[in-house]
Amino acid sequence: MRIIHLPGRLRIAFELLVNDRTKFAALLVGITFAVFLMIEMTSLFAGILSRASSTVINIGASIWVMDPAVQTVANTIPLPDYVLDEVRSIPGVKYAVPLYSGSALLKLHDGSYQAANVIGLDDSSLFGRPEVNAGKIEDIFAENAFIAIEDSEFYKLKDPRIGAEFELNDHRGVIVAIAHVASSGLFGVPTLYTTYYRALQYIPNTRYTISYVLVEPKTPADVTNIQKQVQAAGYLALTKSQFIAQISRFYMYQTGIGTNMLIMTLVSFVIGLSISGQTLYTFILENLEKFGALKAIGAKGRDLVSMILFLATFVALTGYGFGVGLCALVIWLARLYLPDYAAMITFGNLGVAFVMVVIIASFSSYIGVRKVLKIEPFDIFRG
């Protein structure tokens, strides 16, 4: 292997590295495996956080009004009906509609039972409705009508077609359309959409029934005033991004998910750090005479340092590329056979892994540089 555009000393360093195929392979495997694990763990966590906010993402409301004690979108605390009227009266509110979000137990056509999320949309506007693949959205107003969401959990409804029937609390339900949404849910249950008042009719509820009030401001400048007015009334108004951030903080800091993912990411980092550092140090020891010879014929300390930095950087970036590619391949294959698999690679995942790889390369370079700078040509030739 040859790199013709490198300066002489870097070309020599490259030849030393690739000619020792065992050490070169060990360095690449160590960093590739570490990057793979780091990106895999952070990607899995990013996927979990995204799915935890799936209802917020899919509905797409600009402002969500809720009880102050709500921590996640699944942890609904019903609001009194007067809250809807009060929010509608706030200056700057273009419109406000109720949303029902709850769970139900379905009896499917084959007699089996399946838990499901039920989203009840405002009857007059259907704000937050999904994009229909088959059927018509207007059919949601038909008797006993529900829309099934074709996501990773769709098969748990026994792959229903339009006209399929089920029972919900002794009520007959009919699938009138198949739709899709931007994000699947986190908890492994399928999702059905219907109208707000049908959801209240079919599913037992407490005295208060509104899960959230969805608000659209007249202008972005009105958001702050709406939030202040809602807070003065004793409730909480969050923008879409604020609600998603709150959900992410909950799963990151108040559950074991964030801690476990952090530990696995740090373990992966330590693995890469130890393997690359040890392997590069061994490589330097085995080629100590060659570096000593270069120093004897006039190579300066900074030349040797640049050679070591080049080696560490080249191996780190190559291993980073292989690790990212391997992780992307594994996630792609996993999604083919595991519909519930939540991992997703984001720019944040790639950035975290890149920073850790830079640290690994810096540590490995430091170990090699210390050894090379201590070389005395006299000792090399005397041996």
162-194 pLDDT tens trace: 999 999 988 999 999 999 998 887 777 899 999
Nearest to 264 by CA among 356, 184, 342, 348: 356
Per-residue confidence (pLDDT) for residue 343, from 0 to 100: 82
Per-residue confidence (pLDDT) for residue 380, from 0 to 100: 56
Per-residue confidence (pLDDT) for residue 1, from 0 to 100: 43
Per-residue confidence (pLDDT) for residue 378, from 0 to 100: 58
Q: Is the predicted pLDDT of residue 256 greater than 70, yes or no?
A: yes
**Which DSSP category does 79 fall into?**
B
Please state which of the ranges 39-43, 172-176, 324-328 shows the lowest mean pLDDT.
39-43
What is the chain's mean pLDDT, rounded? 84
Rounded to two decimals, what is the model's pTM? 0.77
Confidence of residue 9 (pLDDT cuts 50, 70, 90): low
Per-residue confidence (pLDDT) for residue 381, from 0 to 100: 56
Nearest to 372 by CA among 293, 316, 272: 293
Confidence of residue 7 (pLDDT cuts 50, 70, 90): low
Residue 99: C-alpha distances to residues 214, 262, 373 (Å): 7, 35, 69
Query: Is residue 200 a contact partner of residue 120, using CB atoms and an 8 Å limit?
Result: yes
Determine the 3-state secondary structure of 141 from DSSP.
helix
For strands 165-168 and 171-180, give the pairing.
antiparallel
Please state which of the ranges 69-73, 99-103, 141-145, 262-266 shows the lowest mean pLDDT.
262-266
| Amino acid making up residue 248 | S
Query: Is residue 198 a contact partner of residue 120, using CB atoms and an 8 Å limit?
Result: yes
Tokens of 210: 């509104």
Nearest to 305 by CA among 370, 352, 363: 370
**Angle 244-138-177 from CA coordinates, rounded to 5°:** 70
Confidence of residue 195 (pLDDT cuts 50, 70, 90): very high
Confidence of residue 4 (pLDDT cuts 50, 70, 90): very low
